[in-house]
């Protein structure tokens, strides 16, 4: 969403695109600046969210570490290799394609066929929602198997439970996933959470309540790596403008984790799907065809 704000709301996209023929190298530098600006906002939000989710016991640290190490490698390679090489229109088109693909994939995840493969995630989400309802009604939860509990963490195996529901995965899988996803995210100048969340909910079967917090820490690692790499390549940053935006990001990052538990798992997915499909179609058409739809 940071990219949407910079490209569409503030008009930086149109500004960068105006240099495609007259000064293409300048346009590419501005495109890199937009990417870095996006990542400053996403990185700040990820840092605050990670802290909040960790306090609430909704961040699977071993999984986040595996993702984070892979993210560091992928983000560095992508940022170093793509800096100064992408004009804005191409960047916008690729951004749209990836977001559109994500929206379609998430829509598939809501079908009955996909739901039948997500029994573990559904069980954990239901257990968490039931626990929240009981606590709101004043029920005594003493002795109940609540919260996140790490059972085992080795190079080849990680086991934990969330509100009594067991999970097990090989740390190598999120390492590879984090590396690939962060490379895509760094190339696009986005956080990567929009890919990490469906990866976690599908591959590792995490419910959204855990996926959001766990992906935030991996996003933070990816953002810091990519920003440092872009700045080292000479990418300019408008520090005053970024500073003002960070104030709003800080407020939203504190409010988000506290309010998300009152929304159902399926509702959060539907909201994300609608936004992904609309933005994906809009940016793909704008970048590759030159046709703009309202609000994008």
Within-domain flag for 47: yes
Within-domain flag for 293: no
Query: What CA–CA distances, in Å, run from 182 to 68, 142, 185, 190, 208?
Result: 9, 41, 5, 9, 19
Within-domain flag for 58: yes
Phi, psi (deg, nearest 5) at residue 190:
-125, 175
Within-domain flag for 156: no
Look at 278 and 266; give whichever has higher pLDDT. 278
Within-domain flag for 190: yes
What sections of the chain are H helices per DSSP? 2-4, 12-17, 24-55, 61-82, 88-109, 112-115, 119-136, 172-188, 193-203, 208-232, 239-260, 265-288
Which residues lie closer than 8 Å to 281 by C-beta, 6 or more apart?
Answer: 96, 100, 293
Residue ranges making up the domain that contains 205: 2-119+175-288
Quote the pLDDT of residue 119: 62
Report whether pLDDT(141) > 60: no
Within-domain flag for 18: yes
Task: Read off the pLDDT band of 140 (50, 70, 90).
Answer: low
Within-domain flag for 125: no
Quote the pLDDT of residue 128: 59
Within-domain flag for 237: yes
State the average pLDDT over residues 56-64: 84
Percent of the chain clearing pLDDT 70 (strictly above): 77
> Which pair of tokens denotes residue 134?
């009981």
Q: How many domains are there within the chain?
A: 1
Per-residue pLDDT tens digits for 25-35 = 877 888 888 88
């Amino acid at each position: 969403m940071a990219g949407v704000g910079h490209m569409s709301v503030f008009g930086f996209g149109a500004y960068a695109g105006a240099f495609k023929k007259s000064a293409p190298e300048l346009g590419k530098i501005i495109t890199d600046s937009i990417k870095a600006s996006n990542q400053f906002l996403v990185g700040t939000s990820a840092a605050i969210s990670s802290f909040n989710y960790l306090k609430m016991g909704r961040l699977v640290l071993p999984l986040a570490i595996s993702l984070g190490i892979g993210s560091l490698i992928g983000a560095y390679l992508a940022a170093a290799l793509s800096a100064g090489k992408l004009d804005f229109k191409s960047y916008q088109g690729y951004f749209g394609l990836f977001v559109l693909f994500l929206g379609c994939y998430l829509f598939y995840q809501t079908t009955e066929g996909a739901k039948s493969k997500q029994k573990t995630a559904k069980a954990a989400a239901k257990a968490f929602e039931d626990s929240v309802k009981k606590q709101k009604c004043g029920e005594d939860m003493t002795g109940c198997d609540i919260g996140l509990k790490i059972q085992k963490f080795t190079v080849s195996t990680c086991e934990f439970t969330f509100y009594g529901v067991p999970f097990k995965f090989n740390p190598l899988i999120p390492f590879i996933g984090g590396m690939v996803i962060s490379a895509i995210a760094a190339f696009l100048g986005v956080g990567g959470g929009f890919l990490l969340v469906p990866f976690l909910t599908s591959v590792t079967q995490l419910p959204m309540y855990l996926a959001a917090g766990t992906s935030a820490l991996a996003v933070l690692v990816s953002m810091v790596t990519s920003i440092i790499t872009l700045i080292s390549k000479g990418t300019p940053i408008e520090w005053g403008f970024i500073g003002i935006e960070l104030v709003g990001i800080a407020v939203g990052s504190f409010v988000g984790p506290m309010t998300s538990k009152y929304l159902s798992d399926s509702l959060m997915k539907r909201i994300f799907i609608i936004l992904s499909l609309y933005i994906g179609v809009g940016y793909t058409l704008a970048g590759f065809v030159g046709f703009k739809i309202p609000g994008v």
